[in-house]
Amino acid sequence: MKLAYWMYAGPAHIGTLRVATSFKNVHAIMHAPLGDDYFNVMRSMLERERNFTPVTTSVVDRHVLANGSQEKVVDNITRKDAEEHPDLIVLTPTCTSSILQEDLQNFVDRAQIDTKGDVLLADVNHYRVNELQAGDRTLQQIVQFYIEKARKHGDLSTEKTSEPSVNIIGISTLGFHNQHDCTELKRLMSDLGITVNAVIPEGASVHELKHLPRAWFNLVPYRELGLMTAKYLQSEFGIPFVDICPMGVVETARCLRTIQTILNQQGALVDYEHFIHDQTLYVSQAAWFSRSIDCQNLTGKKAVVFGDSTHAAAMTKILTREMGIHVVWAGTYCKYDSEWFQAQVEGFCDQVLITDDNGAVGDAIARAEPSAIFGTQMERHVGKRLNIPCGVIAAPIHIQNFPIGYKPFLGYEGTNQIADLVYNSFTLGMEDHLLEIFGGHDTKEVIQKTISADSDLNWNREAQSELNKIPGFVRGKVKRNTEKFARDRGFSEITLDVMYAAKEAVGA
Amino acid sequence: MTVAQPETQPQGLNFECETGNYHTFCPISCVAWLYQKIEDSFFLVIGTKTCGYFLQNAMGVMIFAEPRYAMAELEEGDISAQLNDYEELKRLCLQIKRDRNPSVIVWIGTCTTEIIKMDLEGLAPKLEAEINIPIVVARANGLDYAFTQGEDTVLAAMAGRCPDKAPTSDGEKGERHAIHKLLQFGRKPEDVAAEETGYVQHPPLVLFGSLPDPVVTQLTLELKKQGIKVSGWLPTKRYTELPVIEEGYYVSGVNPFLSRTASTLMRRRKCKLIGAPFPIGPDGTRAWIEKICSVFGITPTGLAEREQMIWESLEDYVKLIRGKSVFFMGDNLLEISLARFLIRCGMTCPEIGIPYMDKRYQSAELALLEKTCHEMDVPMPTIVEKPDNYNQIQRIDDLCPDLVITGMAHANPLEARGINTKWSVEFTFAQIHGFSNARDILELVTRPLRRNHVLKDLGWDKLVRETVTAVN
């Protein structure tokens, strides 16, 4: 048993559902108790999704527990197949129902007899892996399923496209700024003359998966999702992959140069040096920002970084290498990936922190007393308590990570966004000096505004304490309206009765 | 009079049980409001990552609740029974006691503790004695309960912890009221005495249901106006101040999802339940007060005028929804009361979905719903227990209701199909009880209609089409 106040990565079934529902026309059936289906809420609310989330819960209740669930699950699969004609139905249990140790594969096999679409059981251990690992595994499982199916039917397309092409692997629903990153990556590939053969899983049809081998290489921007698939495609078809996240000016250049090498090895003759040069100097404002006078005061400022491996490693490098900020420690909650993370941030920070205990992270922040934090929503919260600004750079996702405007983290536009994030997180330039000289913006306590200074209204004890129970942001309005009401009616004392009468009369 | 005996089944209401695949929140979500209500509590949810991530991401409570709420996350060793449950829970509770020192630890059992048959009720008394801190066990699991019923499981468990005797000896009394006296400091004795007068002599009454403090005060005051004294509320702001419940006390619920608490109070504490419609909407509030008055042989005064006044003040909202239809997909068990109020406002309601329907505990409310339909001369709604969301969406397509009150998962997709929606969960968190809060219910209900009114001139297709005007 573990005392947990916060989770950096969700449970396994969330990863599976993120992948399954990212595909077009794929439905997921959850074998789970009532209330375990909050994935639908997250997707519908955070992504502002216009369609019903293609996830149906086959509800496990006391009755199912007593009588077994076989018929129910099979019925629900065949029902959904008939109702919505999905290409694929993915069945997944949750932490809870996986303990029942039912033979779900058998349910799938039985349902498959009557369904037009394919049926697949997501093969993950719900107690050993988290959301990220389960998503990675499910994507690989689905890709493998359709590659093998195509191979059996003899319609696997392995012939390379005539022009250099790429599969972008790992863009999914409920990912951290995934949609905007995807747009940016597509633009980047198009600028480089590389055709996008497929983007998976977001928006892809499972029927397209048999064409994956046509790409010249695979790009895996986030190592948390897609690496297993890329490795599978490499071992099956020898397709090389690039897993350098193009985040920040330097890493983007490194990613593009690796792509250049891979393409040239396959007989293309490409040279991206001019492109990298132009983008760095003229498209990205980040390189200039780091050299501007405003950024001078960032030199040597202390920051800490925490997040998933991809974002935390990239951010550490950007802060240290591109902005001259002193990263006191960098950390990740992807404990299973600690070796890679340590190698990546080696030399870019004083210390490394690998943990999924938010308390330990909070303590480490308090000890370091940095000028800014770059972390997750949890660190933003810690920052608020310690009065240290925090820029959010990694999942767990939050409604703020689904902005209406264009805010990618990757590619050259991403470098601008990150520069803004850093700029806005620190107090900068003249502001820094003014704060020091004058000791803050507001040196006087704000005086409570009242409607008139010579108020002859008296709040009695109960009413006053009732008033104090009202949330601060509306308290002023309630007070004003109640006093106006009392004055209009000639009350000199405000009692609870007057207060509620005012509420009824004027909605105070 | 005291409704232990089931009232006659209302005729005309059509009940169905679809036993479909439906979405609602997990009952452990009650932690979100109960930890705020009971200020000296600590809630420990004993479950898996799935439970924790729900509270963190879907409910968004974890980050704020942190000091008084945590997960006891079950790991592989716990599931496979390699670890000793007692020792593990002891380790966690000792840490909680050391770090937070709450007055009570509430263990929230989940589906997982049910499936692995963890004997929480058996472990708690032993551990309580060993670490010397009260432990209340509530099984708020999704196998047996839905959403708001989580509160029911907690209150039912707490009902067992209410003192069963009012303190008698002076010494004890003195001690118990020491703090009370401190708070009274500076007030003349006659003030305090005056507070006690103005009440009619009646057997003690305890109300149950978790409501925000201002609403507790409002309802207490409404009853005071009729001379009725509320001896206590379950729950209280502090666990240490749970109300005394003696055999023969009268109890009444303020929420429609508390049937288990009601039966616990009747069977275990031998209380008399006053089965009334719930104090939601001016009609419900009046009926609730009238029922309590009738039990105590009091003739209520001024209630009809009061209700009338409230209706008049609501007219600006009511006129927006009069003659329109509302469809409840079913989520928080407040559906019957809200539908009854909205029908009284002049709406029609073809279907009330509800996760669970206790016809006995809700009998007075159902009767009032039926009466309201008759008086307003509208068709009786169909009450669909455990609805199938997919089928409901087909029915919504056919009926085209003016408003659908639904869980969060379906709101955006319905809006995208041109159906006005309101999140049912807002009614769970808003202050909707009593006379004056009826306005808040209508504020919520009319918001989608008012929003659309604001946007209506734009429409979707002529949003940016400029009508050509001559420029001079």
Residue B36 forms contact with A (CB below 8 Å): no
Among B122, B145, B168, the domain boundary falls at B145
Q: Which of B42, B224, B412 to mutate to test the interface with A (most CBs of A within 10 A)?
A: B412
- The mean per-residue pLDDT over the stretch B82-111 comes to 94
Cβ-defined contact of B115 to A96 (cutoff 8 Å): yes
What does the block give as tokens for A435? 């704060």
Cβ-defined contact of A35 to B88 (cutoff 8 Å): no
Looking at residue B333, the DSSP 8-state letter turns out to be S
pLDDT at B10 (0 to 100): 44
Annotate A415-483 with DSSP letters as a single string: HHHHHHHHHHHS--HHHHHHHHHHT-S--SPPPPP-S-TT---EE-HHHHHHHHHS-HHHHHHHHHHHH
**Are A240 and A60 within 8 A, CB to CB?**
no
Give chain B positions within 8 Å (CB) of A56. Answer: 21, 390
Residue B464 has pLDDT above 70, yes or no: no
Ranges of H-type helices in A303-410: 309-317, 323, 338-345, 358-368, 377-386
Cβ-defined contact of A35 to B147 (cutoff 8 Å): yes
CA distance A57 to chain B (A): 6
Give the CATH number, domain containing residue B408. Answer: 3.40.50.1980
Cβ-defined contact of A3 to B112 (cutoff 8 Å): no
Give chain A positions within 8 Å (CB) of B49. Answer: 7, 10-12, 95, 130
Q: Which residues, at least 6 apart from B92, have a Cβ–Cβ distance to it below 8 Å?
A: A1, A3, B44, B70, B72
Give chain B positions within 8 Å (CB) of A76. Answer: 21
Give chain A positions within 8 Å (CB) of B114. Answer: 65
Nearest residue in chain A measured CA to CA from B184: A461
pLDDT at B2 (0 to 100): 46
- The strand order across the sheet containing B272-273 reads B230-234, B205-208, B250-253, B272-273
Give chain B positions within 8 Å (CB) of A14. Answer: 53
Q: Which of B22, B39, B49 to mutate to test the interface with A (most CBs of A within 10 A)?
A: B49
Cβ-defined contact of A65 to B115 (cutoff 8 Å): yes
Give chain A positions within 8 Å (CB) of B96. Answer: 3
What is the tens place of the pLDDT at every residue in A360-408?
999 999 999 999 999 999 999 899 888 899 999 999 988 888 999 999 9
- Share above pLDDT 70 across residues of chain B, in percent, rounded to a whole number: 86
Residue B463 has pLDDT above 90, yes or no: no
Of chain B residues 368-407, which have a CB less than 8 A from chain A? 390, 393, 407
What is the tens place of the pLDDT at every residue in B184-197?
555 554 444 445 67
Nearest to A2 among B75, B214, B393 (CB): B75
Nearest to A42 among B23, B57, B83 (CB): B57
Cβ-defined contact of B411 to A34 (cutoff 8 Å): no
Cβ-defined contact of B71 to A53 (cutoff 8 Å): no
| Position B88 in a domain | yes
**What band does B60 get if pLDDT is binned at 50, 70 and 90?**
low
The dihedral built from the CA positions of residue B53, B55, B57 and B63, taken in this order, carries a sign that is negative
Cβ-defined contact of B26 to A35 (cutoff 8 Å): yes
CA distance B1 to chain A (A): 31
Give chain A positions within 8 Å (CB) of B390. Answer: 56, 83
Q: Is A495 exposed, middle or buried (0-12, 13-18, 19+ CB in 10 A)?
A: middle
pLDDT at B192 (0 to 100): 46
- If one counts every other C-beta atom within 10 angstroms of the C-beta of residue B197, the result is 6
Helices B303-321 & B281-295 angle (0-180, nearest 10): 160
Cβ-defined contact of A59 to B28 (cutoff 8 Å): no
**Are A38 and A11 within 8 A, CB to CB?**
no
- If one counts every other C-beta atom within 10 angstroms of the C-beta of residue B183, the result is 11
| Position B294 in a domain | no
Residue B303 forms contact with A (CB below 8 Å): no
Nearest residue in chain B measured CA to CA from A47: B412
| Position B325 in a domain | yes
Residue B5 has pLDDT above 60, yes or no: no
Residue B78 forms contact with A (CB below 8 Å): yes
User: CA distances (Å), B192 to each of A18, A309, B96, in order?
Assistant: 62, 64, 39
CA distance B206 to chain A (A): 21
| Position B308 in a domain | yes
Cβ-defined contact of A127 to B52 (cutoff 8 Å): no
Alpha-carbon distance B176 to B179, whole Å? 7
Cβ-defined contact of B62 to A83 (cutoff 8 Å): no
pLDDT at A38 (0 to 100): 93
Residue B308 forms contact with A (CB below 8 Å): no
Strand partners, B159: none
Could you list the residue range(s) of the whole structural domain that residue B423 is in?
303-455
Cβ-defined contact of A50 to B412 (cutoff 8 Å): yes
Alpha-carbon distance B422 to B446, whole Å? 9
Per-residue confidence in pLDDT tens, chain A, 508 aa: 999 888 999 999 999 999 999 999 999 999 999 999 999 999 998 999 899 999 999 999 998 888 887 789 999 999 999 999 999 999 999 998 899 888 999 999 999 999 999 999 999 999 999 999 999 999 999 999 999 999 999 999 999 999 999 999 999 999 999 999 999 999 999 999 999 999 999 999 999 999 999 999 999 999 999 999 999 999 999 999 999 999 999 999 999 999 999 999 999 999 999 999 999 998 888 888 888 887 787 888 899 999 999 999 999 999 999 999 999 999 999 999 999 999 999 999 999 999 999 989 999 999 999 999 999 999 998 998 888 999 999 999 888 889 999 999 999 999 999 999 998 888 655 565 555 555 544 444 444 444 444 456 788 888 888 888 777 667 777 888 888 888 888 888 888 888 888 887 766 5
- The strand order across the sheet containing A241-242 reads A195-201, A165-171, A217-219, A241-242
Give chain B positions within 8 Å (CB) of A50. Answer: 412-413, 416
The dihedral built from the CA positions of residue B328, B331, B335 and B338, taken in this order, carries a sign that is negative
Alpha-carbon distance A372 to A365, whole Å? 10
Burial A164-202 (b: 16+ CB within 10 A, else e): bbbbbbbbbbbbbbbbbbbbbbbebbebbebebbbbbbb
pLDDT at A294 (0 to 100): 75
pLDDT at B216 (0 to 100): 96
Among residues A114, A155, A278, A294, which one is catalytic?
A294
User: In the annotation, is A294 catalytic?
Assistant: yes
pLDDT at B7 (0 to 100): 46
Give chain B positions within 8 Å (CB) of A127. Answer: 75-76, 79
- The mean per-residue pLDDT over the stretch B102-125 comes to 96
CA distance B135 to chain A (A): 17
Helices (H) and strands (E) in chain A, counts: 23, 16
The dihedral built from the CA positions of residue B289, B294, B299 and B304, taken in this order, carries a sign that is positive
Alpha-carbon distance A248 to A384, whole Å? 27
Helices B438-455 & B303-321 angle (0-180, nearest 10): 20
Of chain B residues 313-372, which have a CB less than 8 A from chain A? 313, 355
Cis, bond preceding B282 (omega within 30 deg of 0) = no
| Position B210 in a domain | no
Give chain A positions within 8 Å (CB) of B195. Answer: none
Give chain B positions within 8 Å (CB) of A41. Answer: 23, 58, 407-409
**What band does B198 get if pLDDT is binned at 50, 70 and 90?**
confident
The dihedral built from the CA positions of residue A319, A321, A326 and A328, taken in this order, carries a sign that is positive
CA distance B418 to chain A (A): 11
Residue B123 forms contact with A (CB below 8 Å): no
Residue B441 forms contact with A (CB below 8 Å): no
What does the block give as tokens for A333? 């909650």
Q: What domains are there in chain A, each with its CATH number?
A: 12-129 (3.40.50.1980), 165-274 (3.40.50.1980), 287-435 (3.40.50.1980), 458-506 (1.10.8.550)
| Position B67 in a domain | yes
Tell me which amino acid residue A265 is. Q
Alpha-carbon distance B328 to A54, whole Å? 22
- The mean per-residue pLDDT over the stretch B74-80 comes to 90
Burial A35-65 (b: 16+ CB within 10 A, else e): bbbbbbbbbbbbbebeebbbbbbbbbbeebb
What is the tens place of the pLDDT at every residue in B441-452?
999 999 998 888
| Position B224 in a domain | no
CA distance A271 to chain B (A): 44
Q: Please, what is the average pLDDT of chain B?
A: 89
Alpha-carbon distance B209 to B120, whole Å? 24
Number of structural domains chain B divides into? 2
- The mean per-residue pLDDT over the stretch B325-334 comes to 97
Residue B111 forms contact with A (CB below 8 Å): yes
Of chain B residues 83-102, which have a CB less than 8 A from chain A? 83, 88-89, 91-92, 95-96
Give chain A positions within 8 Å (CB) of B87. Answer: none
Cβ-defined contact of B49 to A130 (cutoff 8 Å): yes
| Position B445 in a domain | yes
Among B98, B129, B145, the domain boundary falls at B145
Among B117, B145, B173, the domain boundary falls at B145
Q: Which residues, at least 6 apart from A374, have a Cβ–Cβ distance to it below 8 Å?
A: A303, A304, A305, A306, A307, A315, A319, A390, A391, A392, A393, A421, A422, A425
Q: Which residues, at least 6 apart from A13, have a Cβ–Cβ distance to it below 8 Å?
A: A30, A32, A36, A39, A92, A93, A94, A95, A122, A124, A126, A134, B50
Of chain B residues 199-238, which have a CB less than 8 A from chain A? 213-214, 217-218, 221
Looking at residue A212, the DSSP 8-state letter turns out to be G
Alpha-carbon distance B4 to B20, whole Å? 31
What is the tens place of the pLDDT at every residue in B391-433?
999 999 999 999 999 999 999 999 999 999 999 999 998 999 9
**What band does B390 get if pLDDT is binned at 50, 70 and 90?**
very high
pLDDT at B350 (0 to 100): 97
A-B C-beta contacts closer than 8 Å = 188
Tell me which amino acid residue B414 is. L
Residue B76 forms contact with A (CB below 8 Å): yes
Cβ-defined contact of B63 to A50 (cutoff 8 Å): no
Nearest residue in chain B measured CA to CA from A465: B214
pLDDT at A443 (0 to 100): 43
Please give the backbone phi and psi of residue A167, each rounded to the nearest 5 degrees, phi first. Answer: -100, 125
